[in-house]
Amino acid sequence: MADMVDVYFYEAFAEEEAALRELLPQQFSAAYTAKTIQESGDAAPPSRLISIRTQSQLPPAWATQLDAILARATGYDHLLAYAASVPKAPALGYLPLYCQRAVAEQAMLMWMTLMRRLPRQMRQFRTFHRDGLTGSECAGRTLVVVGVGNIGHEVCRIGQGLGMRVLGVDLEPRFADLDYESIDVALPQADVIVCAMNLNRANHGFFNRARWKCVKPGAVFINISRGELSPATALLEALAAGQLGGVGLDVFEDEPKLATALRSQRPMNDPEVVATLALAERDDCLCTPHNAFNTAEAVARKSEHSVQQIVSFLDSGAFLWTPPDAP
């Protein structure tokens, strides 16, 4: 125990590690790796306080060896799932406020890219043909945002700024500047659908085959929340059938498994992984590596908030921000 650092960071990419090193007070020791817990092969936690993102799989046996886990993410479903799997969970923290603008802009980037058929435009530059490239403008189109929290509300604001008709879908309508509808009323009207929901046990597989049969043919779907909400197998079928006109994904079903397979270049037979790889080959689908948060501004805020959380816990034994419903 005496040789342990004060905090150990898993899944720290280069820019993030540099910012964390600069901001963390010198009296606290830290170590960093770009690997997930499972990729690292660590048999025991390297610190009583560890920090992860979203792809690390937390060993149940570590629960009694940890004082705290900080997720450097706005989502906390993986923390709650871990807490439910062990008799007594360590303290849990997350970062609710650092990336709403960055993620919302990525959603906009994706839907506009798909509406204007940009991948195909770029490919056809080689022959300078314009056949099949006619796209759509945002103004006057209907944007449906499913899950209107901090990120979802920012998506709505961007849509309003583009002259879109915006409908929010949420169990708790808390923003007065939005019109809300139920999912059954909103979905058939949508030209663009953005999934910004929190993942929980009740909504796993929310955007399923039956749901896609209710959409306007040619609608564009964007998921910047959690891949478990929109199974890739159903998305692939909806694109092939023309029920959807485009799909943009920054998150994926069983993402730790997919990410590890792609980084190691090992083939996998899992149906969701196979479907995701098939989606990534299509002109009408965009897949990005859970990177919507990754702007210089958001990384700076993320690192600052992470350090605030760590300093708070090491000084007082409590995080500033804890997941709702955490034990």
The verdict on 87 and 113 lying in the same domain is no
As for how many domains the chain has, the answer is 2
Q: Give the DSSP letter string of 123-148.
A: HHTTTT--TT-----STT-EEEEES-
Pairwise CA distance, residues 40 & 19, whole Å: 22
Q: Give the residue carrying structure tokens 């799989």.
A: 57
pLDDT confidence of residue 289 = 96
The verdict on 204 and 223 lying in the same domain is yes
Parent domain of 121: 100-287
CB distance 9 to 30 below 8 Å = yes
The verdict on 37 and 90 lying in the same domain is yes
The verdict on 148 and 233 lying in the same domain is yes
Task: Summarize pLDDT for 215-251 with one digit per residue, the tens.
Answer: 999 999 999 999 999 999 999 999 999 999 999 999 9
The verdict on 32 and 106 lying in the same domain is no
* Cβ atoms within 10 Å, residue 257: 17
Q: What is the dihedral of CA 14, 17, 18, 24, to 10 degrees?
A: 180
Q: Give the residue carrying structure tokens 């046996």.
A: 61
Q: What is the CATH number of the domain that holds 264?
A: 3.40.50.720
Residues taking part in catalysis: 226, 255, 290
The verdict on 231 and 308 lying in the same domain is no
Report yes or no on 104 lying in a domain. Answer: yes
Report yes or no on 195 lying in a domain. Answer: yes
**E-assigned strands of the chain?**
7-9, 30-32, 49-52, 68-71, 91-93, 142-146, 165-169, 179-180, 192-195, 219-223, 244-249, 285-287
Please identify every stretch of the chain with a pLDDT value under 50, giving residue numbers as ranges: 1-2
| Structure token digits, residue 286 | 């965009």
